[in-house]
Amino acid sequence: MQTHTPTTPFGRRTMSLGMMANQAVAKTVPEGAQVHKWNVFHSIREAREPLGATDRSLSILNALLSFHPETELTGNGELIVWPSNEQLMARANGMPATTLRRHLAVLVDSGLIIRRDSPNGKRFARKGRGGQVEQAYGFDLSPIVARAEEFQELADTVRAEKKALRVAKERLTLLRRDVVKLIETGLEENVPGNWGRVHQTYQAIVGRLPRSAPRQLVEDICCDLHGLYMEIIEVLESFAKTQNPDANESHSGRHIQNSNPDSISESEYGSRNKEEVGGSAAETGNVRSLPKRELPLGIVLDACPNLSELTQGGDIRHWRDFLAAAELARPMLAISPSAWRDACEVMGDQHAAITLAAIYQRTDQINSAGGYLRSLTDKARDGKFSTWPMIMALLRAKLDADKSTRKADHQPPSGEGRLEVSEALLKSLKKPRS
């Protein structure tokens, strides 16, 4: 008895060229081909994204494979299964009928199964007298055998891509950690360089990273970060090689760079008038006796509170935040990029930013901030200027103003709103003038 293998689906389902191509591939199954259906299913599960399958559709494919009695699928064997929708829904953990039909269509479109619909759309098998299947209508599993090698290659490619993405993410994490900590090292050790700008560059690079990034984008960002990392390493290593361990004084034993190591005991305030610098020569004599050490950020912010107004929320917690605020203040003071660059090269980024903050604090008393900064840069180049006396003068002026205000209002000293300084610093500021 002659039989006909149906090609088109039943009812309103349409036929497409893609379905015809999938059926053509299924016909290329070699007669001696034999595959383990669960091994192939594992490969399909790994390669579901490039195949266009979903997790729900794969649960249906798993149920369809379970209806085939043999574990090994052969090219010359019967590869059509004919379970009813009720049986499929039961083995698919109670999936609704509408969801079942939708994901069966996904399996057909992905070329993982082929519909072999009967004239009335029912699924069944006609058997002969010996019990052998003569004609079956249902779902053809021949693509599982015909495309087994393709599925394996796709799975290997997906696994390799996942490994490459994992390695790229590990590299990205290491580069981000190294760059951030090296920038902090440059700031803490006063290494010459525009570290505020370096930090902005880092933020611009990592800002391109979305929550879920493809491997190529991660690798591109890694390349940019590696270039930034190599620039920072080169600067830090070059600076470390030029340092003499006994050249600079350090409170904590670190060799912190100061553009003019011997300038701490000198001050340009001796040659500036009170209107410009906010401190007299006698006050300079008092602050000269302060210990030679780096200025803490808290003291600088107490002396120059106006700079905090430029930051979002008025919060400056780290030196990098202070440098970023100084970058915002520079154009407001009409200081040219060349004057700022010279100051950073001579004084170092941190001390240049402290100088700019002091200028910004007394901007109403300085006619030309740019010219004043260039003058201080020239003095620093000759070893005749440091930021410590400048900050101490601002602190003393603030203390005196606070004292005068309390006397005028006949109010006792109050902790609220007062400038808090250490006892040692207060004693130093109250030393008798020479």
- Residue 225 has a pLDDT of 93
Question: Tokens 């940019």 label which residue?
Answer: 224
What is the C-alpha to C-alpha distance for residues 434 and 422, in angstroms, rounded to an integer?
23
- For the question of whether the overall pTM of this predicted structure is more than 0.85, the answer is no
pLDDT at 111: 87
pLDDT score recorded for residue 430: 52
Neighbours of 319 (CB within 10 A): 21
In contact, 72 and 25? CB cutoff 8 Å: no
Could you tell me which residues come within 8 angstroms of residue 377 by beta carbon, excluding any fewer than 6 positions away? Answer: 339, 342, 343, 346, 347
Q: Which residues of the chain have pLDDT under 70?
A: 1-20, 22-23, 130-131, 134, 243-293, 313-314, 406-434
**349-361 vs 195-206: helix crossing angle, rounded to 10:** 100
Return the domain boundaries, the chain.
17-146, 161-242, 261-429
Tell me the per-residue pLDDT of 376-402, one tens digit each, with 9 for 90 and over.
Answer: 999 999 888 888 888 888 888 888 887
pLDDT of the residue at 407:
67
**Residue 129, token pair as written in the block:** 């007298």
pLDDT for 408: 66
**How high is the pLDDT of residue 260?**
37
| Nearby residues of 302 by Cβ (< 8 Å), 6 or more positions away | 395, 398, 419, 420, 421
In whole angstroms, give the CA distance from residue 210 to residue 168: 15
Interaxial angle between packed helices 215-242 and 148-188, expressed in degrees from 0 to 180 and rounded to the nearest 10: 30
pLDDT on residue 359:
92
Architecture of domain 17-146: Orthogonal Bundle (1.10)
Tokens encoding 413: 């000293």
How far apart are the C-alpha atoms of 280 and 182, rounded to whole Å?
Answer: 40
Q: Per-residue pLDDT tens for 187-204?
A: 888 888 788 888 889 999
Written as one string, the DSSP assignment of 168-229 is HHHHHHHHHHHHHHHHHHHHHTT-SS-HHHHHHHHHHHHTT--SS--HHHHHHHHHHHHHHH
Q: What share of the chain is helix, strand, coil (3-state, %, to 5)?
A: 60, 5, 35
